Amino acid sequence: MIYDNHGRPITYLRLAVTDRCNLRCFYCMPEAGVKYLHKSKLMTYEEMLRTVSVLSELGISKVRITGGEPFVRHNMIDFMYQLSEIEGITELNITTNGILTGQYIRQMKEMGVRSVNLSLDTLDKKRFFEIARRDEFDKVYQTLFQLLDAGFEVKVNAVVMDGQNTQDIIPLTELTKDNKVSIRFIEEMPFNGEGSHYPKLNWNAPRILAEIRSKYPDLQKLVDAPNSTSYNYQIPNYQGNIGVIAAFSRTFCGTCNRIRLTATGDLKTCLYDDGVLNIRDLLRNGISDEELKNTFINVFKQRPKDGFEAERNRKSIITESMTTIGG
C-alpha cells in the first residue's frame, strides 16, 4: 500500500479510455466544434494495461473505466477482460451513459464487474434531450433496468443544474422506492470544455439535501464507506438509497484515495489539477517498469491537500471538458 504526503492511501484509479462521446451533455461538452484527439495521442490498450499493472504493484486495487463514453472505443470489452485479469486488481467498475452498454451486460457479469455508474440527470424525455442534446432517453432508461435485473450494484449519477433539472430531484429519489438503486446527486463542476461558464453554485449539497428532506422529513443518514465521495441517506422502507456528492464544494478531499489517468496519459493526482505528468510519453520514451514505479511514488508524495490547493497550483484556468477527465 502506498500513502501520499498527507497520509492518504492511494488505492483507486479512474481510467479515461477515450475523449469521444455519443452524447453532448451541456455541462460536459460543447454542442458543436468538439475537436477529437487523433488516435495516436490516445494511450493504447497495451500502454494502459502496462500502467495498471505497475500501479497494482504499488497497491492500486480498484479501477473504474470512464471517458468520454467508454463503449464508443473499439474493442473496449476485450480490454476490460484483460484489465480484469491483472493480478492485484480486485475491483473493476465502469461509468457509462448507458447507450451502448446493454449489449455488454453478459460479458461484464462474466468478468466480475460489480458496480456500474449510469449517468441519468432526468426522468423526463424532453429534458433529457435539452441536457444531453441527443434523443436517447428511452435507451438509457431501459439500460438502467437491464443492469438492475442483471444484479449489478447500480449508481445513477445525476448532475444537479439550476434552472435545468431540479424538478427531477424528487422523481429520481422516488426510483429508490422499488429499486435497489443508488441515486447520487452531484454538484455541477466547471468542466464543460468551454471555460466561459464557471457555475455559481445555487444548488450545493446542503440545498439538494434540504430539497429531499422537505419531501421526506424522516430521511435517515447511512454510514458512509471510508473513502466515499457521497454522503448517503435512505428513506425508511425504500429499497435503494440516495447520495449527495459535493464535487464543487470539495468536502471529501480528506479521505481521497483516487488518482486519474486521462485518455492521453496525463496523470492527475487531484480532479482539479491540470495533470502532473504524462505517462504515455514516458512509456513511449522507453521508461522501465521500475523507473515508472519510482516516478509514481515520487508524484504521490507531492499531492495537493485538497481540490482548492490543486486549483490554485494550476498553470492555467479550468477550460477542459469532463470528457478528458472522466469524472
Chain positions contacting ligand SF4, by CB under 6 A: 21, 23-25, 28-29, 67-69, 97, 119, 322-323
> Which H helix or E strand runs over 233?
strand 230-234
Cα end-to-end distance, the chain, whole Å? 24
Residue number, 24 or 50, with CB nearest to ligand SAM: 24
Task: Give the residues lining the site for ligand SAM (CB under 6 A).
Answer: 21, 27-28, 66-69, 95-97, 119, 157, 159, 186, 188-189, 191-192, 247, 322-323, 326-327
Residue number, 21 or 52, with CB nearest to ligand SF4: 21
Instruction: List the single partner that 108 binds among ligand SAM, ligand SF4, none, CB under 5 to 8 Å by kind.
Output: none
Instruction: List the single partner that 181 binds among ligand SF4, ligand SAM, none, CB under 5 to 8 Å by kind.
Output: none
The residues, any chain, with a CB within 8 Å of residue 242's CB and separated by 6 or more, are 173, 176, 182, 183, 184, 185, 212, 219, 232, 233, 234, 235
CB of 163 to ligand SAM, least distance (A): 15
147-179: b (≥16 Cβ within 10 Å) or e: bbeeebebbbbbbbbeebbbebbeebbbbbeeb
60, 86 Cβ separation under 8 angstroms: no
Judging by beta carbons within 10 Å of its beta carbon (0-12, 13-18, 19+), is residue 38 exposed, middle or buried? Answer: exposed
CB of 190 to ligand SAM, least distance (A): 7
Q: Give the cell for residue 74.
A: 473499439
Length of the chain: 327
Residue 234 phi/psi, 5° resolution? Answer: -145, 145
Instruction: Give the Cα-Cα-Cα angle 16, 324, 48 (nearest 5 degrees).
Output: 30
Instruction: List the single partner that 276 binds among ligand SAM, ligand SF4, none, CB under 5 to 8 Å by kind.
Output: none
Instruction: List the single partner that 66 binds among ligand SF4, ligand SAM, none, CB under 5 to 8 Å by kind.
Output: ligand SAM
Give the helix, strand, coil percentages of the chain, each rounded to 5. 35, 20, 45
Instruction: List the single partner that 152 binds among ligand SF4, ligand SAM, none, CB under 5 to 8 Å by kind.
Output: none
Q: Which residue is nearest to ligand SAM (CB)?
A: 327
> What CA–CA distance (Å, rounded) separates 193 from 158?
19
127, 150 Cβ separation under 8 angstroms: no
Instruction: List the single partner that 24 binds among ligand SAM, ligand SF4, none, CB under 5 to 8 Å by kind.
Output: ligand SF4
Instruction: List the single partner that 29 binds among ligand SAM, ligand SF4, none, CB under 5 to 8 Å by kind.
Output: ligand SF4
Instruction: List the single partner that 189 binds among ligand SF4, ligand SAM, none, CB under 5 to 8 Å by kind.
Output: ligand SAM
Residue number, 104 or 296, with CB nearest to ligand SF4: 104
CB of 159 to ligand SF4, least distance (A): 8
CB of 223 to ligand SF4, least distance (A): 29
Residue number, 28 or 175, with CB nearest to ligand SF4: 28
Three-state DSSP class for 140? helix
Residue number, 243 or 300, with CB nearest to ligand SAM: 243
> What CA–CA distance (Å, rounded) separates 275 from 270?
8
CB of 28 to ligand SF4, least distance (A): 3
CB of 87 to ligand SF4, least distance (A): 30
Residue number, 65 or 89, with CB nearest to ligand SAM: 65
